[in-house]
Structure formats: structure tokens, C-alpha cells
Amino acid sequence: MKMIVGLGNIGKEYDKTRHNIGFMTVDVLADKYQATFKQDGQHHAFVADVRINNEKVLLVKPTTYMNDSGDAVRPLVDYYKLDLADLLVVQDDMDMDLGRLRLRQKGSAGGHNGIKSIANQLGTQKFNRLKFGIGHPAHVHQAVVDYVLGHFGQDEQPDLLSGLDQAVEIFEGFAAGKEMPILMNQFN
């Protein structure tokens, strides 16, 4: 079994914002495989399961808000007795152009509070991540918070959709058992 966790914030006001790109990516995969998210209150998450190449894949959207994502991820990893190699966390990254993707197997949180929470709860920084570029504010004076909680513009749709399509390819490769170094060589 594999688990793909998309990071984001719950609530209508956060739907389809840059900071919720993790939610958007797992939503695209759920739509492709006609899966429905169900609330798992015990584990503080919405969870859907799909079969990809005969592999059960849990799609997870924590309901803890971004900064406490580890409070959902750790209990799910423990409950399903997952090896951390079978976990992939999708995060937004302001330091990359919109739609650009980068896989990593470990590393610091880099200022991302959701990743920091997961690393703290898991007791390690060694877990798979898919960084999804959301770009950086064009104006120096624009607050970062306003930017990440803002919506994608119409002119950004081609790059956004391209990144989402590529994320689905990565998820399918991950579910098929491709090793992370192979996926990293293919997509980074």
C-alpha cells in the first residue's frame, strides 16, 4: 500500500488557492480514478482509496490545517503500518516557477510549516515529497501570505494544468513501485 498526502487548508475560502496545490493534485488523481473522499475523523483527514496497477493507494487531505499536517499524517502512517518509503507528501513551493515539479527523498522543511509539522511528528526529515512550484509574488511589497492564499490567475492555467498532469504521472509511477531515484531522474 502507498499513501499520497496532499497538503492544504480546509474551508471554502482556501479552495483552489496556491497553498492548496497539494489538495488539488490528489483531487485530480481521485477524479481520474473515480474515487470519493470520505472524512476520517479519527485520523483528522479526508481519505480516498484507489487502485493503481493493482496497488492500493490512499489519497489523503489532512483536516488539521497546514501547520498541523503531521497530526494527521503520523497517525495514518502508524495505523496502516506504512514504511516511510511508501509515503509521498505533496507541498507547494514558492521558490519554483508555477507548474514546475521536483521530487525529493529527504531534506529540511525550508520554511514550509506543513512539512515541518510532518517531520516533527515522524521524527525524521527522510520522507518523499513532491514540491509543486507556485511561483513567487511579482511585487516585492506584496505579502507572502496574501500570495499563497490567493487564487491562480487565468493566465496561469496552462502552467498549472501542465504541472497537475505531470503530478498524476508521478503518482502513477510511485504506485507502480518505481523507485524514487528513478522517478527523480525522470521528472526532476
* Cell numbers linked to 129: 515529497
Q: Residue 49: what are its φ and ψ, rounded to 5°? A: -125, 140
Amino acid at 24: M
Of 51, 7, 24, 60, the C-alpha closest to 157 is 24
Cβ neighbors of 71 (< 8 A, separation 6 or more) are 44, 62, 64, 117, 121
- Distance between CA atoms of 72 and 9, rounded to whole angstroms? 13
14 is in an annotated binding site: yes
Length of the chain: 188
Residue 67 marked ligand-binding: yes
User: According to the annotation, is 80 in a ligand binding site?
Assistant: no
**187, containing H or E segment:** helix 180-187
**Active-site residue set:** 19
Please indicate if the annotation marks 113 as binding a ligand.
yes
Binding-site sequence positions for tRNA: 14, 65, 67, 113
Binding-site sequence positions: 14, 65, 67, 113
